[in-house]
Amino acid sequence: MKIAVVGATGMVGEIMLKVLEERNFPFTELILVASEKSVGKVIEFKGKKYSVVGLQTAVDMKPEIAVFSAGGQTSLDWAPKFAAAGTTVIDNSSAWRMDPTKKLIVPEINANELTKEDKIIANPNCSTIQMVLALAPLHKKYNIKRVVVSTYQSITGTGVKAVQQFENEGAGIEGDMVYKYKINRNCIPQCDSFEANGYTKEEMKLSNETKKILGDNSIAVTATAVRVPVVGGHSEAVNVEFTNDFDVAEVRTILSQTDGVVVQDNLDTFTYPMPRYAEGKNDVFVGRIRRDESQPNTLNMWIVADNLRKGAATNTIQIAEYLVAHNLV
């Protein structure tokens, strides 16, 4: 079992390597891949040193699985080349997510859709993953009509340069600006670029990807995505209107029994999810579960997850684990 990590020197790539180690992923050969400027760089993994190779070299080595986190254009250019060589690609960019011929997978929800013929598999957007993991079991039980979500997204979702901007501002250092405005002690109501309809790409991802993953285009989703000066993970205030009424205690039970979800919801002890406690963890945390008293059949939740973990690297590696466990590669 040869596995390639494409984008191994990036922020998500580094977490992918951590997750591979933590979960003891079964491979016989590890291929670390990055752009030409990083070729030859040495990375240590499990006490062994690996030299970074270029994309064509990696294709020629014909790994069974390649996990990509190297940007959309790299995925568009190179995922088909890997697939043509017989490699199954799991891509963390937005390049293939809404392609009708590609599966968009959160393993706990829809991994059973995968077959050996799926050579390019899309990993959803980080904000979408944590939201749908909580929504999926509730949709089955009560049938979702509409979702209103406001996100509070970590600067790590933008990348290492955004973290550097944040740290520079806190230290009073003039440096490169990734955002149009200062992020320290600020909130920026823009994640990604604006579309013609006035929504950002991130907001539209939440809408479009949710429908695809849950397999239901009738679900109405509207989103406002906000960048906040936080490192540990993304937070979301989610308002869900169902066709059928629900019992709040039953909702808590359903979520508590959902793989990958941890309920943190005890007002007596001030227990609720926060990004500083989600950082470095693979679960999705749900709390502030309560009925929306302004209209029928509607629920409020607060959902938090480490966007580099379950929102990216962990979900990707879980897909790879499923492929191996079910002999799909």
Q: pLDDT per residue over 245-293, tens digit each? A: 999 999 999 999 999 999 999 999 999 999 999 999 999 999 999 999 9
Looking only at the bridges linking them, the beta strands covering 48-51 and 65-68 are unpaired
Residue 325 pLDDT:
97
Q: pLDDT per residue over 200-241, tens digit each? A: 999 999 999 999 999 999 999 999 999 999 999 999 999 999
Q: Which residues are annotated as a binding site for NADP(+)?
A: 9-12, 37-38, 307
* 139, 248: one domain: yes
Of residues 27, 36, 99, the one with CA closest to residue 66: 27
Task: Find the CATH number of the domain harbouring 89.
Answer: 3.40.50.720
Q: Which residues are annotated as a binding site?
A: 9-12, 37-38, 97, 153, 227, 307
* 118, 139: one domain: no
Residue 183 pLDDT:
98
Q: What is the dihedral of CA 72, 74, 77, 82, to 10 degrees?
A: -110
Whole-structure pTM value:
0.96
Catalytic residue positions, numbered? 126, 234
* 242, 317: one domain: no
The CA distance from 289 to 240, in Å, is 11
* 159, 287: one domain: yes
Residue 94 pLDDT:
95
Q: pLDDT per residue over 31-74, tens digit each? A: 999 998 999 999 999 999 999 999 999 999 999 999 999 989 99
Residue 229: domain span:
127-307
Residue 137 pLDDT:
98
Residue 118 pLDDT:
98
Q: What is the dihedral of CA 200, 205, 207, 209, to 10 degrees?
A: 170
Q: pLDDT per residue over 169-204, tens digit each? A: 999 999 999 999 999 999 999 999 999 999 999 999
* 240, 297: one domain: yes
Residue 292 three-state SS: coil
Q: Which residues are annotated as a binding site for phosphate?
A: 97
Q: What is the DSSP letter of 106?
A: -
Q: pLDDT per residue over 107-142, tens digit each? A: 999 999 999 999 999 999 999 999 999 999 999 999
Adjacent-strand bridge partners of 153: 227
The CA distance from 63 to 86, in Å, is 8
* 118, 32: one domain: yes
Element (H, E) at 146: strand 144-153
* 272, 193: one domain: yes
* 45, 151: one domain: no
* 145, 284: one domain: yes
Looking only at the bridges linking them, the beta strands covering 261-263 and 284-291 are parallel
Phi, psi of 305 (to 5 degrees): -155, 155
Task: Find the CATH number of the domain harbouring 221.
Answer: 3.30.360.10
* 60, 167: one domain: no
* Domain tally, the chain: 2
* 110, 9: one domain: yes
* 223, 159: one domain: yes
Looking only at the bridges linking them, the beta strands covering 65-68 and 2-6 are parallel
Residue 99 pLDDT:
98
Phi, psi of 95 (to 5 degrees): -55, -40
Asked if residue 219 lies in contact with residue 145, where contact means CB atoms within 8 angstroms, the answer is yes
